[in-house]
Chain A
Amino acid sequence: MAKKEVDDRFKKFGTVSFTAITKTNDFINYLEEGKVMATRCKECGAVYFPPRSDCAKCLNSNMEWFEVTGTGTLLSFSELKYAPVGFEDDLPYTIALLDYGDYKVFGRISQEIPYEDLNVGMKLKTESNNLPNGQLNYVFKRP
């Protein structure tokens, strides 16, 4: 008898993933297609990033995916000179938060943008990204 297949696609997210199984696993397939996706509740219209499979506003689980497009406003950022275990090879890297109005996106700044060029309030876009170790994430780039 064939073993039951485990859907652990999420283990591909980030330099080191700490989650393998989630109902939002399709996020990974979208990343592979070059898309960064958020979710919207089909019942009440609430939007979520990070994506959720259940709506905390109306308690439904009838969600649809939509793409994070356009630019967001840089709310804050920090360049790390020390890293947690497993992330040492990525140093230095910059984490950041973008405001898209209806939702915010937390991620990394693209290595293409020098730290000195970053300013709170600047516009950046979100793009899927392939990491050198074969993993996937997304980064913030100049529009």
Chain B
Amino acid sequence: MGKVGIIGVGQSNFVRGYPGSIRELAFEGFREAMKDAKIEIKDINASIIASAPEYDKQRSPAGVIAEYLGLIPQPTFYIESVCSSSSMALRVAYSMIKSELHDIIAIVGFQKMSEISSSESQERMGRGADIQWEAPFGTMMPAYYAMYAQAHMAKYGTTGEDLAKIRVKAATYGQINEKAVYRKPVTMEMFTDPESNISATVAKPLRVGDCCANADGSSCIIVANEEKARALCDKPVWILGLGAASEAVNMAGRDLLTGLSVGIEAGKQAYEMAGVTPKDIDVAEVHDCFTIAEMMAYENLGFAKPGEGKDLIASKETYKEGSIPVNVDGGLLSKGHPIGATGGSQIRTITLQLRGEAGEMQVKDPEIGLVHNIGGVGLYGNVTILGR
């Protein structure tokens, strides 16, 4: 049985208030991926649509979007694991190709978050946690991650300054990513300047600067079996390893508060399947919905020992020139985080890096890349390892 290759990647600009409907938004990422793959719509045998529900009035968006993209009568369906939906969709596409059910599949991730207000969005995202026992206390995503930050600080002596360094790195690259929603620089001083919005507390110890922004956006990944990938694509990027895991929805059911168990477990699976170790990774995209999430990802993926993530960012090893460049496209912190589109955007970034087409953000000659995509507060985790 052959490999599964990525033959086309695309993403819309990630923006505030996209001036169009969800089908039009999805079209933008799809069109770019189709131009990249240089194939015809009829070559695609199936589509998988990925997003998180409750942002849209549209029920069952898969059919509506597939029709708008010209992907009927091919089968289409919806995959949801909140923020990791499009990575989970890639996992499903991989198995559908390996089983020889289909030979080319388009994965379209999208989210139009601006349909609702920010506090409504927090309430909906909070309901991605346990609605029966925890949401009635007034939970939201930043507060859950803040609890992880608090525990990490208590155990390892991590500080707000350590976390701020991650945001400063993200903004360094967000400024040169023309598809990012947040393109302004962020300095360490802004985190201590009471006049700056960056320093405002959201949920202690996390500040506005520690949090990614809501955005509207779409992404598309086109995958093919080895035969088609070699025939159609000059530089196919191969899926070498896939890992996925789940964790207790409520905090009360969790044993680890200084890392995400799903990141550890999914990473372990992906490394084993790919036959590589953390040292072999040349460039990575990790799920930095909050600065603490990137810090934990360093440790959970084996780029740093537990508690030593702060040293990795302090020594700038996760910058473009460092030993393990992470999120050199600005990450979720600067790109924005349109839930269902995020995993596809991360996979696009690593694909472009491995093809040597990442422009100003290009890391020197990477051979193996990793994508770490988390759903909810470490509720779902997907790790994907890609290679040339």
B252 pairs with A50, CB closer than 8 A:
yes
A-B interface contact total, Cβ < 8 Å:
123
Q: How large is the interface on A (under 10, 10 to 19, 20 to 34, 35 or more residues)?
A: 35 or more
Which residues of chain B are near A137, meaning CB under 8 Å? 136-137
Q: Is B140 an interface residue (CB 8 A)?
A: yes
Which residues of chain B are near A84, meaning CB under 8 Å? 119, 122-123, 126, 135, 138-140
Given contacts A22-B132, A50-B132, contact A76 B154 (CB under 8 A): yes
A80 pairs with B132, CB closer than 8 A:
no
Which residues of chain B are near A13, meaning CB under 8 Å? 136
A76 pairs with B252, CB closer than 8 A:
no
Q: Which of A1-9, A57-65, A101-109 contacts B (4 or more CB under 8 A)?
A: A101-109
Which residues of chain B are near A97, meaning CB under 8 Å? 147, 251-252, 257
Which residues of chain B are near A107, meaning CB under 8 Å? 137
**B135, B203, B253: the one within 8 Å of A81 (CB):** B203
Determine the distance from Cα of A49 to Cα of B206 in the docked complex, in whole angstroms: 28
Which residues of chain A are near B137, meaning CB under 8 Å? 14-15, 95, 106-108, 137
Given contacts A78-B203, A78-B204, contact A95 B139 (CB under 8 A): yes
Which residues of chain B are near A19, meaning CB under 8 Å? 131-132
Determine the distance from Cα of A68 to Cα of B229 in the docked complex, in whole angstroms: 59
Q: Is B202 an interface residue (CB 8 A)?
A: yes
A103 pairs with B140, CB closer than 8 A:
no
Interface-central residue, B136, B140, B142, B147, by most chain A CB under 10 Å: B136
Which residues of chain B are near A103, meaning CB under 8 Å? 252
A86 pairs with B154, CB closer than 8 A:
no
**A10, A75, A82: the one within 8 Å of B122 (CB):** A82
**Chain B residues within 8 Å of chain A by Cβ, number:** 42
B252 pairs with A82, CB closer than 8 A:
no
Determine the distance from Cα of A13 to Cα of B133 in the docked complex, in whole angstroms: 8
Q: Is B56 an interface residue (CB 8 A)?
A: no
Which residues of chain A are near B154, meaning CB under 8 Å? 76, 119-121
Determine the distance from Cα of A105 to Cα of B201 in the docked complex, in whole angstroms: 25
Determine the distance from Cα of A22 to Cα of B133 in the docked complex, in whole angstroms: 11
Q: What's the nearest-Cβ distance from chain B to residue A107, in Å?
A: 6
B140 pairs with A80, CB closer than 8 A:
yes
Given contacts A14-B136, A81-B201, contact A76 B148 (CB under 8 A): yes
Q: Which of B40-69 contact A (CB under 8 A)?
A: none
**A15, A77, A82, A105: the one within 8 Å of B147 (CB):** A77
The 10 A-B pairs of least Cβ separation, nearest first, read A14-B136, A87-B138, A84-B123, A78-B146, A120-B154, A50-B133, A18-B131, A76-B151, A76-B147, A104-B252
25 contacts between A and B (CB under 8 A): A17-B136, A50-B132, A50-B133, A76-B150, A78-B144, A78-B150, A79-B201, A79-B203, A79-B204, A80-B140, A80-B143, A81-B202, A81-B203, A82-B142, A83-B138, A84-B122, A84-B135, A85-B117, A88-B119, A97-B147, A105-B252, A106-B133, A106-B251, A120-B151, A120-B155
Given contacts A78-B146, A88-B119, A95-B139, 20 further A-B contacts (CB under 8 A): A17-B136, A19-B131, A50-B133, A76-B147, A77-B150, A78-B147, A78-B205, A79-B203, A79-B204, A80-B138, A80-B140, A81-B204, A82-B119, A82-B122, A84-B140, A85-B122, A86-B123, A105-B252, A106-B251, A106-B252
